Amino acid sequence: MPEDNINHIDFDELDKKAISQPLVTHIYTADPSAHIFNGKIYIYPSHDVDAGEAFDDLGSHFAMEDYHVISMDSIDSPAIDNGLALHIDDVPWAKQQMWAPDANEKDGKFYLFFPAKGYDDIFRIGVAISDSPTGPFKAEPKPIKGSFSIDPAVFKDDDGSYYMYFGGLWGGQLQRWRTGEFNANQPDSPTAFIPEDNEVALLPYVAKMTDDLLELDEKPKEIKIVDENGDLLLAGDIDRRFFEAAWLHKHNGKYYFSYSTGDSHFICYAIGDNPYGPFTYTGRILEPVVGWTSHHSVCKVEDKWYLFYHDSSLSKGVTHLRSIKVAEITHSEDGRIKTLQPYNKISSF
Ligand code: FUB
């Protein structure tokens, strides 16, 4: 539900109908990336704060400065805030806006991947390392070479390869990289350089990572998202085209690429046969939540799948003060995921 509709919302009623409640309420959290490490659930969210920035379509009001890791012993256990994991003051290259992070584990070390704007006002993706899944993490002195835009998600495939998925439109700057170089013209316009409605939509990127997980092992490749006829989705198809919040999970040998459609507020998914795609648009995982953004991860806990997501119900609709939540999802026998209705407990295909 976009911000302009919130005056009509009865939040007490909405909470009663909500399929889930915030996992933590003492701080605002968003963009939850969930993983199982050593049998426990770890969630890597953004830590939302009100820094006094006005709402704009560049996302300036998302002025986050640090990360906290949330952990749960099981899906029904209390969610624990493990305190400060990384602060922007300890990231030499980053100036502002610590947006949606992800993490992964290799050989007993934990890697936090995060986007932030550098001193040149360009979003890059950084990595920070810890011996513990909850941090504290130590940031590498420079962002990952060849990285750009926002919302990294790092997927480990069954053969032990790691892939980074990333990209985000408008404030996430993906549209500024269409030529391979950053286009700094019209800095205040979130939509300059977005393709016309009848042109192919901008695509997110994927790159295999090096063995030490500190670099991209190849030039990022565009991820094709196609319709049922194999045609790339168009920019005007705002209910289906990629906007931000890339995630990948694997189920029954198929690769599920899921993402937010941004200004139409859906979490959608597309299915492919390998980590690079192409992915065929298949449907929605989540209908719009309260707040402008929608951002999620999909994680298997024991033998059930869960959608970790966020909404702005706790802050009564303030778009940049969000709360992470979790709800079970189901894959049908033909591989489709039932669509969750966040405020009524009915789901459908
Ligand atoms: O949290 C800041 C930004 O909002 C994220 O990077 C986007 O995905 C959106 O959720």
CATH number at residue 49: 2.115.10.20
pLDDT over 60 (residue 203): yes
What's the pLDDT score for residue 285? 98
Helix (H, G, I), strand (E, B) or coil at 112: strand
pLDDT over 80 (residue 328): yes
* Tokens 């298997």, located at residue: 300
Q: Look over the chain and give the mean of its residue pLDDT values, rounded to a whole number.
A: 96
pLDDT over 90 (residue 348): no
Q: How far apart are CA 167 and CA 201, in angstroms?
A: 13
What's the pLDDT score for residue 349? 67
pLDDT in tens, 160-179: 999 999 999 999 999 999 99
Q: How far is CA 117 from CA 11, 59, 65, 97, 99, in A?
A: 34, 12, 11, 6, 9
pLDDT in tens, 110-130: 999 999 999 999 999 999 999
Average pLDDT of 321-328? 98
Count of the separate structural domains present in the chain: 1
- Residues near ligand 1 with C-beta < 6 Å? 30-31, 46, 59, 62, 99-100, 150-151, 168, 244-245, 293, 295
Boundaries of domain holding 225: 3-348
Average pLDDT of 315-326? 97
User: 334 C-alpha to center of ligand 1: Å?
Assistant: 31
Q: How far apart are CA 324 and CA 28, in angstroms?
A: 8
Greater confidence, 10 or 199?
A: 199
Average pLDDT of 47-76? 94
What's the pLDDT score for residue 57? 87
Average pLDDT of 134-161? 98
User: 174 C-alpha to center of ligand 1: Å?
Assistant: 13
Nearest to 248, CA basis, from 226, 269, 278: 269
Q: How far apart are CA 206 and CA 203, in angstroms?
A: 10
Residue closest by Cα to atom 9 of ligand 1:
293
What's the pLDDT score for residue 3? 54
Residue closest by Cα to atom 3 of ligand 1:
99
User: 292 C-alpha to center of ligand 1: Å?
Assistant: 10
pLDDT over 80 (residue 1): no
Phi-psi region of 97 (alpha: psi -120 to 50; beta: other; left: phi over 0): left
What's the pLDDT score for residue 8? 80
Q: Is this model's pTM higher than 0.85 or not?
A: yes
Greater confidence, 208 or 8?
A: 208
